[in-house]
Amino acid sequence: MVGIILSDKPPEASQVSISRVLTKRDWRVFINLPWQLYKDDPNWVPPLRSDMWDTVNPEKNPLMKLGPYQYFIAWLEGKPVGRIGTGIDKNLNKKKNKKEGYITLFESINDYQVATALFDAAIDWLKVKGINSVTGPQSPSNGDDYRGLLVKGFDSMPVLMNSYNPPYYEVFFDQYGFTKDFDRYAFYYDLSKPVTQRFEENMDALKKRYKFSVRKLDLKNIDEEIIGLQKLIACSMPEEWPDMVPPSLEEIKDEANKLLPVADEDLVLVAINSEGQHIGLAIALPDYNQVLKRLNGRLFPIGFLKFLWYKKKITGGRIFVLMVDPEYHKKGISGALYLQMFKNALQKGYIYGEGSTIHEFNTKMVNDAIKAGGDLYKIYRIYRKDF
């Protein structure tokens, strides 16, 4: 049986060893590992290395501010062969009254001994902190990036910010004793299929009946918009959702600061009632993965020029936020947001869209996605394990 040791230094012996990520050199190994693992996979999209450095920077990462964390690297025969991050969201635990940790950014060669060593290291660390369960893979930034393990849809590239992994990861999680907590769905929209005239007429009638309109987010008055959006987000997020709590105003501003530089104002829409209140929100981003695929993780020295050139040729986008005030459910808000989003995307020459990711238990949004023409083509699984 392969030996497993925990050390702060890479091993020299031929055994699986786990080292804590402590130094800048360790972080470099942690960040660069996927280039080794996915070098022959045509569907993997290299992230920007600069973005990954920001993701693991406590000064820039909102999740790292919410509780303790630790990252690990697995070594075999002196080479890095796996990685994992773990931590505790104290804010979530307090509001949900639980003692739960998370794992994130898991990667491993196709060797179950390596995966076991990584899972053991993460869980042992959590146990010392008084934690009795773990979920994941979760977003490393408390956002919508790298959340969930891909269990369906391995035959195509992921759309922006979504996870990608080989099929054997699911086997590792199942074999170790993780169980499904819930799935998150991604729907594909073929924009070459025309919206029916009846659907458009229905949306116009519902707007008049319930006295609401759809417009672009006013970026020139973003602070005022954010205040309205915070109220919308707070009332739209059910208390029973296991992995989310309404974000603070500061957290929303942090997320907005990350999104606005890469957002397309035509793809950030709000629904407003007759009193000027925010009752719906839809955010889509161009599928920059089409560009990132060509950059190999670097913007410089010539990657930035490639980015500017290829961003003009993007042919799809991802709707990653769509929420409606519960008082306006079943009144056409989501349909009107979908319709306007599709219209704006078609004007840009887009041929596809992805709506993701939607919790499987959010049946209303799942049904809305299907009614809007979505095809469930990728599934991302959140696992849990009690101990």
In this prediction, residue 6 carries a pLDDT of 64
Q: The dihedral of CA 316, 259, 45, 180: what is its sign?
A: negative
Question: Which has more pLDDT, 177 or 365?
Answer: 177
In this prediction, residue 1 carries a pLDDT of 36
Question: Which has more pLDDT, 227 or 261?
Answer: 227
pLDDT digits (tens, 9 = 90+) for 59-100: 988 899 899 999 999 999 999 999 999 999 998 999 888 999
Residue 263 has pLDDT above 90, yes or no: no
In this prediction, residue 143 carries a pLDDT of 82
pLDDT digits (tens, 9 = 90+) for 229-250: 888 988 877 666 666 666 777 7
The reported pTM is: 0.86
- Domains contained in the chain, CATH given: 4-142 (3.40.630.30), 189-386 (3.40.630.30)
141-150: average pLDDT = 91
In this prediction, residue 20 carries a pLDDT of 98
Residue 2 has pLDDT above 70, yes or no: no
In this prediction, residue 242 carries a pLDDT of 64
